[in-house]
Amino acid sequence: MLALEGLRVIDLTTVWAGPLGTQFLGDLGAEVIKVESCAYPDMLRGFAAPPSKPGERFWDRGGYFHTLNRNKYGVTLDLRDDLGKRAFRALVRIADVVIENFSLRVMRNLGLDYLALRAVKPDLIMVSMPGYGASGPYKDYPAWGETIDPTSGLASITGYLDGPPMRSGVAYGDPIAGVYAALAVLMAAYQRRRTGEGQYVDVSHLEGLIRLLGEAVMDYSMNGRVWGRLGNRHLLMVPHGCYRCRGEDRWIAIAVASDQEWSSFCGAIGQPEWTRDARFVTSAGRLANEDELDRLIESWTRQRDHREATRVLQEAGVAAGAVLTAEDLCHDPHIVARGIVQQVAHCETGPGLLPGTTIKLSRTPGGIRKAAPCLGEDNEYVLGELVGMSAEDVAELADRGVIGTAPLDTGRT
């Protein structure tokens, strides 16, 4: 038995934040039913990022979509149609959780907000994921992870000392919000088991990212200091940064947190005399002479392979890590040994590599049991077997265009 077996989740989420959160739940055994519309399928179905594979049903071949939507059933429902709303309410009636990451107005305009759905399922847990939260002056603002990143303050401390703010390499607000959403479902489900009561859960992308700026916010609140940009450097640790290694675009990250680690570092790279150099004896001295120190360290790293340099420093007790590309990750021996990437077969694309289960439980381990669904793949199972609709009623939904297995506008998707 899996940890979350018996928990049924209706997943209206799209793109990254919500689907990542529901993926965590599905990996650990929850029955996740992804609801899309043929008029507005998840936009990642048409996002041609590797390992997408061209083909006739291209909307079922998006590699990015596959990574986020394994272990889910797929059903299509047009929630603008009265029959689609009726079918959705019937689905909610047999569910535990509804989760969505639309702009705040969407579910309200459809007549499917928490108050409406609670009338159908009194102990329902509903999770909403608006970018700025369900209250406050910005609550109706649309948001993407790329805009939440700078608004949270994260971009203001990311970048080089003499450069402008820089956003993260990915839409960092999305995965953070996804983790919080999964955690919120678990907390609300635990509370419902104790009290029998459901509740509405408001997960803000903005607040999730602000939590990562704890030190910067505390420093301002206590000392009135506003953090600037340090590039790859650190306020206290030195040396601290990314250093070029041998080969094309190969790097190693090094972080030295104490004088003892500094001594170990110098011994590992064959420069014990640096521990007696007046410029580098103390942490304050190393900070004051950081440019020169970085130049000296890079004269050592540039002669070495980034993995070999990592091994040498780690064996000396120094925190160091080779900077890996996505290609490196798929073949790294540690990543492979822990099952962090796994090969999964999909009916449209064949075998491909997907991220493995992040949370590893000893008694109830999760896993990838099902590839991401093709659009509307499980319409008959979900609406017929689970909801209990007759074959005639399901056929009527198909004839009316409420359900389907292809986008209505393939040019847009």
Q: Could you tell me the end-to-end alpha-carbon distance of the chain, in angstroms, rounded to an integer?
A: 38
* Single pTM value for the model: 0.92
HSE value, Cβ hemisphere, 13 Å, CA-based, for 76: 22
Structure tokens at 295: 């130049």
Q: Which phi-psi region, left, alpha or beta, contains residue 374 (left: φ > 0; alpha: ψ -120 to 50)?
A: beta
By annotation, the residues acting in catalysis are: 174
Distance CA 380, CA 371 (A): 18
Distance CA 144, CA 79 (A): 23
What percent helix, strand, coil does the chain show, rounded to 5? 40, 15, 45
Distance CA 134, CA 138 (A): 9
Q: Which residue has the tokens 């007046």?
A: 278
Q: How far is CA 229 from the centre of its chain?
A: 25
Which amino acid, residue 323? V
Distance CA 27, CA 402 (A): 29
- Helices 290-301 and 306-315: crossing angle in degrees, nearest 10, is 110
Burial of 223 (0-12, 13-18, 19+ CB in 10 A): exposed
The candidate with the shortest Cα–Cα distance to 68, out of 96, 97, 43, 37, is 43
Task: Give per-residue pLDDT as tens, 263-313.
Answer: 999 999 999 999 999 999 999 999 999 999 999 999 999 999 999 999 999
User: Within the chain, which residues score under 50 in pLDDT?
Assistant: 411-413
Task: Please state, as a whole number, how many other Cβ atoms lie within 10 Å of the Cβ of residue 27.
Answer: 25
Structure tokens at 31: 């029955």
SS3 82: helix
Domains of the chain, with CATH numbers?
A: 8-211+338-399 (3.40.50.10540), 240-330 (3.30.1540.10)
Largest Cα–Cα separation, the chain: 85
Q: Give the number of residues written for the chain.
A: 413
Q: How far is CA 85 from the centre of its chain?
A: 30
Which ranges constitute the DSSP H helices of 101-144? 104-110, 114-120
Task: Give per-residue pLDDT as tens, 16-59.
Answer: 999 999 999 999 999 999 999 999 999 999 775 555 556 788 88
Asked whether the beta carbons of 39 and 78 are under 8 A apart, the reply is yes
Distance CA 245, CA 252 (A): 7
Distance CA 35, CA 72 (A): 10
